[in-house]
Amino acid sequence: MKKLLLILFFFPHIVFTQSNIDEINELNQETLIYPKEVHFKNLRQLTFEGENAEAYWSFDDSKLIFQATNEKWGQSCDQIYIIDTNNYSLHSEIPKMVSLGEGRTTCSYFMPGDTTIIYASTHLNDAKCPHVPERRVDGKYVWPIYDSYDIFISDLDGNIIRRLTNHEGYDAEATVSPKGDRIVFTSIRSGDLELYTCKIDGSDLVQVTNQLGYDGGAFFSNDGKKLVFRSSRPNTAKEVKEYKDLLSRGLVQPTNMEIYVCNVDGSDLQQVTNLGNANWSPFFHPSDKKIIFCSNHESIMGFPFNLYMIDIDGQNLEQITYDEKFASFPVFSNDGKKIVFSSNRNNNGTRSTNIFIADWIE
């Protein structure tokens, strides 16, 4: 990296070729991995500005699908994009958009065969981006739960081929089992935010959770037998009232959540973390014996968020990233050799969140 800085200092008008850019990226790897991040090797940056999150692998691990808000890409709220996992050119290229460019989209995932995708969208209600509420209501940080979200299946050219949900209220956060047989998603159809599973075609709907609180962000274990998810569990009368009041306004407060696991049918529900603050974005380790997740439990003022790993029984907590602000959405490749996640690192002091990919070292 010092060599690169000297080149820029003495030759400020140099025009970089793609080979120059590749060299810069190679040099940049020296600084992308922070001290103590012993599980990462060959860390590469895939996006370079805007808000980029929830990157998920194709079944053959050759592609990533993710959501992004980037005004320079011509979109003012989240849309869905696909890139090859070895594409490091998004500093100068616009990736392929596979959503409609209407409404707000979220939570995309590849379907079995890698020729179709699933995601949630508000476009049937309005082609414009939905109103974004204030981030704080009554002094509390909140997330919007748009009742116009439904889940759709699309081909890779952006053509919607099936509407998977057709129920009043929020339906989103769908992910697909590595076995390719079932989908899990969050829905408010019962009056609360619960987890449901169904077959790939939408049939055989099963309600998984049934306790008061927000259950979301669920993923299947690699063997397809378990689910891991984030959950709020209001207990006191005050907490219950606050949760219900916010939910009636299409809002949830994500500042107090813990990680849970259960069997796919909802049995054997177990709380994995009991750390306090916000513990979310969990994903199974390739062994299915551990869970990687995002947490700010060590933070006093809300930040930083970092990645942690814990045994499925709640033992042996280990910090994975050491970001100063934010790291989240960790997802292992299907072969278990790589990991992708979002981070505020290397954003030149801006608020942009970018996607990074690395070899995973045990």
Which mean pLDDT values do the consecutive 10-residue runs of the chain (362 residues) have? 41 47 52 94 95 97 97 92 93 94 96 98 93 76 94 96 94 97 97 97 96 97 98 95 94 94 97 96 98 94 92 98 96 98 93 96 95
Note the pLDDT of residue 14. Answer: 45
Which pair of structure tokens corresponds to residue 260?
A: 């849970």
Note the pLDDT of residue 336. Answer: 97
Note the pLDDT of residue 6. Answer: 40
In single-letter form, the type of residue at position 341 comes to F
Note the pLDDT of residue 125. Answer: 93
Residue 49: DSSP 8-state: S
Note the pLDDT of residue 180. Answer: 96
Beta partners for residue 357, in sequence order: 44, 340
Closest CA to 59 of 114, 13, 5: 114
DSSP 162-188: EE----SS-EEEEEE-TTSSEEEEEE-
Cα angle, residue 83 at apex, residues 78 and 86 outer, rounded to 5°: 140
Note the pLDDT of residue 4. Answer: 41
